[in-house]
């Protein structure tokens, strides 16, 4: 216990030097934590944006639909088994049926290829955000034969709310079906892909146009959270062995890859910071050892054992690091709290939308962002003190006490 007290007092004997090391550690840690929190915030925002605009947490399809999404690959039996399983599953927070196809949308001025997504407007609103993303017109008001398209697509077609467009697609028989519809509303989401290339129709109207009876291509499910999605996906997959039940991360592996990439880059950033920190601490401790040659000599002369001397130097290193770490954490939490409403990237939003990002980034701090650096920092402190400690124990008391 003596050496601990001794070490604690020692580090405060030269407050300026200790202060510099503590500041370096604190600022380094806080910077890393905040930048990682922003990175994770960016990735999680992207995940949640993708999930809430279109993807949902879990989707159910007929076997093989995802690999070759043809109209004919509908859910068997009009999706009755799947619908029953979804309704029986209490963890389902919301679900919506969809029919999907590829087609062509034309106005008198232009025509664009489009994904036709036929939805039950009320149900869809319980899973995805399109209903909340309307910028003009209505999200499926009462009139029949209205469609909802992205603002970007409307711009390409040069149409607005109330204008007529013609939708052509291949029906189940392979015949080209064409229908005139009117634009009921325009939406704008964070996903450029959705805004440029997707047209939402009423389910019954699309089913009639494509001649599929009451057939469905997919059921999209909101599980409440990404964590719940895992259990829910497994439960539904077990209940529906003949269908493909896939979670968002299986449907969009790209999103998972981005999360992994962020995690891997974090490792390198931490490594760089801690190596720099280790040299800083070692350097300062070495200085303190050289400065105190006489003092150490006297300590040894009056009977401080070598192991205690090593312990003292190591303790000094650990204390400096820990104090720096705690202040760094406090700074990081303060920064995170200050940015809790998100950083508005409004100015860059256009570019970010291309990657399916929202324009506001909310930083995300996780428990493991604290535990791992703490462990690594203490390890770094131990390693950094090895060299100064070894210099200290090699001093000969008889010479050291005469050192000036």
Partner 1 sequence: MPRLLNCLNTLLLVLLAAPAWAGELLPAPEGLTGREIARRAEDTLRSSKTHMRAEMTVTSPRLSKPRVVAFESWDDLDGKRSFIRIDGPAKDRGTSFLKLHPNLWMYVPRVERTMRIPPSMMLQSWMGSDFTNDDLIKESSALDDYDHELLGIETAPPGHPDLNAYVVQYVPHEEAPVVWGRIVAWIETEHGTPLQQDFYDESGERLRTMEFGDIRRSGARYVPHLWVMTPLDKDGHETRVRLIAIEFDTEFDDDLFTKRNLTKARR
Per 3-state DSSP, the chain is made up of helix, strand and coil in percentages (nearest 5) of 55, 20, 25
Residue 100's Cα: distance from chain center in Å?
28
- Of 90, 113, 241, 303, the one binding partner 1 (CB under 8 A) is 113
Using the rule CB under 8 A, is 176 a contact of partner 1? yes
Distance in Å, CB of 207 to partner 1, minimum: 16
| Residue 214 in contact with partner 1, rule: CB under 8 A | no
Contact residue for partner 1 among 108, 211, 253, 351 (CB under 8 A): 108
CA distance 322 to 336: 21
Per CB under 8 A, the list member of 179, 249, 316, 369 interacting with partner 1 is: 179
Q: Indicate whether 103 belongs to the interface with partner 1 (CB under 8 A).
A: yes
* Residue 181: DSSP 8-state: E
Under the binding rule (CB under 8 A), the answer on residue 180 touching partner 1 is: yes
Region of 99 (left: φ > 0; alpha: ψ -120 to 50; beta: rest) is: beta
Query: Among the candidate windows 60-68, 100-108, 258-266, 337-345, which touches partner 1 by CB under 8 A?
Result: 100-108
The interface with partner 1 within residues 221-250 (CB under 8 A) comprises: none
Residue with tokens 């209940």: 239
* Least spacing, CB of residue 148 vs partner 1, in Å: 19
In sign, the C-alpha dihedral spanning 18, 21, 27, 32 is: negative
Q: Which residues of 370-386 are buried (b: 16+ CB within 10 A; e: fewer)?
A: beebeeebeebbeebbe
Q: Using the 8-state DSSP alphabet, how is residue 219 labeled? A: E
| Structure-block tokens of residue 227 | 């964590």
If the CB atoms of residues 4 and 208 are measured against partner 1, the closer one turns out to be 208
Contact segment (CB under 8 A) with partner 1 among 134-142, 174-182, 316-324, 365-373 equals 174-182
Does 79 contact partner 1 by CB under 8 A? no
Instruction: Name the β-bridge partners of 137.
Output: 185
| Among 35, 168, 262, 360, contact with partner 1 (rule: CB under 8 A) | 168
CB within 8 A of 141, min separation 6: which ones?
184, 185
Answer yes or no whether residue 165 interacts with partner 1 by CB under 8 A: yes
Q: Which CB sits closer to partner 1, 201 or 281?
A: 201
Question: Where along the sequence are the contacts to partner 1 (CB under 8 A)?
Answer: 102-104, 106-109, 111, 113, 145, 163-170, 174-176, 178-180
């Amino acid at each position: 216990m003596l050496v601990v007290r001794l070490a604690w007092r020692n580090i405060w004997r030269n407050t300026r030097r200790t202060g510099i090391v503590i500041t370096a550690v604190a600022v380094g840690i806080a910077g890393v934590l905040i930048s990682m929190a922003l990175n994770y915030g960016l990735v999680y925002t992207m995940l949640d944006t993708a999930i809430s605009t279109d993807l949902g947490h879990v989707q159910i399809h007929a076997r093989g639909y995802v690999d070759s999404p043809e109209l004919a690959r509908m859910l068997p039996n009009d999706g009755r088994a799947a619908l029953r399983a979804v309704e029986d599953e209490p963890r389902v927070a919301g679900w919506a049926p969809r029919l999907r196809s590829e087609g062509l949308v034309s106005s008198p001025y232009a025509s664009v290829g489009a994904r036709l997504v036929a939805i039950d407007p009320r149900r869809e609103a319980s899973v995805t955000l399109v209903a909340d993303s309307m910028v003009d017109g209505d999200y499926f008001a009462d009139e029949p034969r209205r469609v909802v398209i992205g603002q970007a697509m409307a711009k390409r077609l040069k149409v607005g709310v109330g204008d007529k467009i013609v939708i052509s697609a291949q029906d189940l028989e392979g015949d080209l079906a064409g229908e005139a519809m009117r634009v009921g509303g325009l939406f704008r989401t964070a996903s450029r892909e959705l805004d440029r290339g997707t047209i939402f129709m009423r389910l019954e109207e699309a089913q009639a146009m494509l001649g599929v009876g009451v057939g469905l291509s997919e059921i999209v499910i909101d599980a409440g959270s990404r964590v719940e999605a895992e259990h829910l996906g497994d439960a539904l997959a077990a209940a529906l062995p003949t269908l493909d039940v896939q979670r968002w991360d299986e449907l969009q592996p790209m999103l998972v890859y981005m999360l992994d990439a962020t995690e891997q880059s974090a490792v390198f950033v931490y490594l760089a910071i801690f190596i720099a920190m280790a040299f800083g601490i070692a350097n300062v401790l070495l200085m303190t050892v050289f400065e105190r040659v006489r003092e150490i000599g006297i300590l040894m002369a009056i009977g401080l054992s070598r192991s205690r001397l090593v312990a003292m130097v190591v303790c000094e290193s650990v204390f400096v690091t820990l104090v720096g770490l705690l202040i760094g954490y406090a700074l990081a939490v303060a920064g995170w709290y200050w940015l809790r409403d998100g950083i508005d990237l409004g100015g860059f939003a256009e570019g970010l939308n291309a990657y399916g990002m929202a324009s506001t980034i909310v930083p995300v701090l996780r428990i493991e962002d604290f535990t791992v650096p703490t462990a690594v920092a203490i390890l770094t402190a131990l390693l950094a003190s090895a060299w100064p400690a070894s210099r200290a124990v090699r001093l000969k008391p008889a010479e050291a006490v005469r050192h000036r």
